Structure 1
Amino acid sequence: MKFLVTGGAGYIGSVVSALLIESGHEVVILDDLSTGHEVAVHPAATFVRGRVHDAVGDVLTPDFDGVLHFAAFIAAGESVQKPEKYWDNNCVGSLRLLDAMRAAGVKRLVFSSTANVYGDPDSTPIPETAATRPPNPYATSKLAVDHALTGEATAHGLAAVSLRYFNVAGAHRASDGTFIGERHDPETHLIPLALQVAAGVREKLQLFGDDYPTPDGTNVRDYIHVSDLAAAHLLALSTMDGGAHRIYNLGNGQGFSNRQVIDVVREVTGHPVPTEIAPRRAGDPADLVASSDKAKRELGWTPAKPALSEIVADAWDFYRATH
């Protein structure tokens, strides 16, 4: 089958592209490289450099079997300062993609969504039926696309799946030897930042708030290995129904505080990770832990690498291999 992967030069999109190719599919990647990296593009993929807004209408033709959409900006903190950037790229870009899919008659879409749409949940673990309270423009833009997909499925027969990610980390080694990990610049995610401190690139790590209503006062997050996350996308493609929009949470179902993550980084790397407390970031929920029971039940998905130590170890191996 032939698939378009928007944002396929990014962290998650490049891993999903590799798995699609390893499964025998033809992959075309559309990415403007504003946050992605051409080195992460699988050599067997066809790469088109361009922005979804401008290029997708020319790229997407009726011979495609589906689209996997990763072309979003993801920095929640930045979205508070630059909401217009996130509405334009994440929401308007997705609407232009839906226009192109409708014009080409392409009827299957897997959308990269986020658990951040739940905001501060009433309880954890969080099921898909939980109330959505997006705490920042990033999450709001993702939720808006989820609503658009529901309407598109009802009105035009789209088969859509939204995968709401919890915290993705680790690195993936493809069958061709390609090693794919996080290359964000600037980096905002905890594990790669902690690894930079362990490697001596940063002097210390900032912890944004230590007064949250959690056991040690720092944010609690559910970490999922990028390889496990990517595998769920292929399962989603095989279980779609025309005219239906399905939503699945993807996480391990267990939470780790920022302090616990740093302790694991110290253990895995054998290096100290000095920290300092900084003010809370706007829009940061205290506790996000997934219930992935629906994905396990309906997709047959089970994380193969649930241990935080293995997630950190793979990320550390990637960091050392690329620096």
Structure 2
Amino acid sequence: MTVLVTGGAGYIGSHMVWDLLDAGERVVVLDRLSTGFEWAVAPEATLVVGEISDQLLVEGLIREHGISEIIHFAGSIVVPESVADPLGYYANNTVASRALLESAVRCGVKHFIFSSTAAVYGSPPHMPVAEDQRPAPESPYGTSKWMTEMMLRDTAAAHPITYAVLRYFNVAGADPKGRTGQSTKGATHLIKVASETALGKRGHIDVFGTDYDTPDGTCVRDYIHVSDLADAHRQALGYLRAGGASITANCGYGHGYSVLEVLDTVRRVAGHDFDVRIAGRRAGDASAIVADAALARRAFGWTPRHDDLTGIVEDAFRWERDLERRNAR
């Protein structure tokens, strides 16, 4: 069996590839390299540069490599950008995913794991939020992911394919072995931006809103280490292979940190202060969202190993420092 990882040259996807290879899997990566990097792909994997919407290419790969499962990460992920360019997000996240899913069905792919998001929940009335909370996305990004979830549900009801939808909360950190990390220029992930600022790569960092209904007025998020997230995908793959029914599950730790708490942690790890500025709210940002991830633990035995904000920041900061040295060569 071979696993196709779309977006496998990107941040989360590259961690997934290493995780699969560490477990002895054969891996093919399909990535257009718009935000990913060829060097981020483990050398043992087969990298193909192309679009997931290119059905001739995708179906050729599935047949050539005997691909039995797809783990789908490819897509656009920036909430404010989606508000400014909704049609671009529906094209890249929803329409392209439809083409990929159709190719999977045509070629007899057995299992499909989809990279979804907590943004499908919007600002949920109850916390922590469980999977039975009705989706109410507040951005085109969240809606584009929810639409793909619905396509998967309906496709699995009509064809012999099972799926796992994993709704991520805020992904952060880097591979503890230093093999890959968040490397995209202009990334908007809070911990990455704060680490860049602490290292002098950015002149300052903005805090978008201090008037939310949270303890310190800034947004609260559930931060999950990227290695734990990759492990959740592999556990979900094993669950489907063992005959598990299609499932939608949250991936988070069940507790949140505010923006200001995260910035304080980055200061401690960096050992010095940096310029923090207060700005207005961004469109599409929920005030607080924290996961109830009991289903993932119960259904496929996911057990997080990196549930520690300081450790997450240390891994992210170390990667950012090493990336600075790499780019200086």
Q: TM-score range by the shorter chain?
A: over 0.9
Match of 2:90 among 83, 87, 94: 87
Deviation at 1:173, TM superposition (A): 4.0
Please list the CA deviations of residues 213-245 of structure 1 after superposition, one character each: whole Å capped at 9, or x if unmatched.
Answer: 000000000000000010000100111277943
Please list the CA deviations of residues 100-146 of structure 1 after superposition, one character each: whole Å capped at 9, or x if unmatched.
Answer: 11111112011000001000000111100112111111110000000
Equivalenced residue count is: 320
Note if contact 2:267-2:274 (Cα within 8 Å) is conserved in structure 1: yes
Question: Secondary structure, in 3 states, of the residue corresponding to 1:28?
Answer: strand
Where does residue 79 of structure 2 map in the other structure?
A: 76
Match of 2:144 among 138, 141, 145: 141
**C-alpha separation in 2, matches of 1:53 and 1:164:** 22
**C-alpha separation in 1, matches of 2:176 and 2:304:** 16
- 2:56 aligned with 1:60, yes or no? no
Question: Secondary structure, in 3 states, of the residue corresponding to 1:238?
Answer: helix
Please list the CA deviations of residues 264-309 of structure 1 after superposition, one character each: whole Å capped at 9, or x if unmatched.
Answer: 0000110212211111110100001001111111111121010100
**C-alpha separation in 2, matches of 1:185 and 1:145:** 27
- Equivalent residue runs for 1:1-323 within 5 Å: 1-54=1-54, 55-61=57-63, 63-173=66-176, 179-240=179-240, 244-323=245-324
In the alignment, structure 1 segments of 5+ residues that lack a partner are none
Note if contact 1:161-1:236 (Cα within 8 Å) is conserved in structure 2: yes
Please list the CA deviations of residues 156-189 of structure 1 after superposition, one character each: whole Å capped at 9, or x if unmatched.
Answer: 0211000000000000145xxx521111222111
Deviation at 1:58, TM superposition (A): 2.5
TM-score, scaled to structure 2? 0.95
TM-score, scaled to structure 1? 0.96
- Superposition RMSD on alpha carbons, in Å? 1.3
Deviation at 1:99, TM superposition (A): 1.1
**C-alpha separation in 1, matches of 2:323 and 2:2:** 31
**C-alpha separation in 2, matches of 1:290 and 1:157:** 30
AA of the residue aligned to 2:151: A
**C-alpha separation in 2, matches of 1:93 and 1:110:** 15
Change (3 A) 1:243 1:293: closer
**C-alpha separation in 2, matches of 1:134 and 1:78:** 15
Please list the CA deviations of residues 190-228 of structure 1 after superposition, one character each: whole Å capped at 9, or x if unmatched.
Answer: 001001111112121100000000000000000000000
Note if contact 2:173-2:315 (Cα within 8 Å) is conserved in structure 1: yes
Deviation at 1:79, TM superposition (A): 0.4
Deviation at 1:83, TM superposition (A): 0.8
In the alignment, structure 2 segments of 5+ residues that lack a partner are 325-329
Question: Secondary structure, in 3 states, of the residue corresponding to 1:160?
Answer: strand
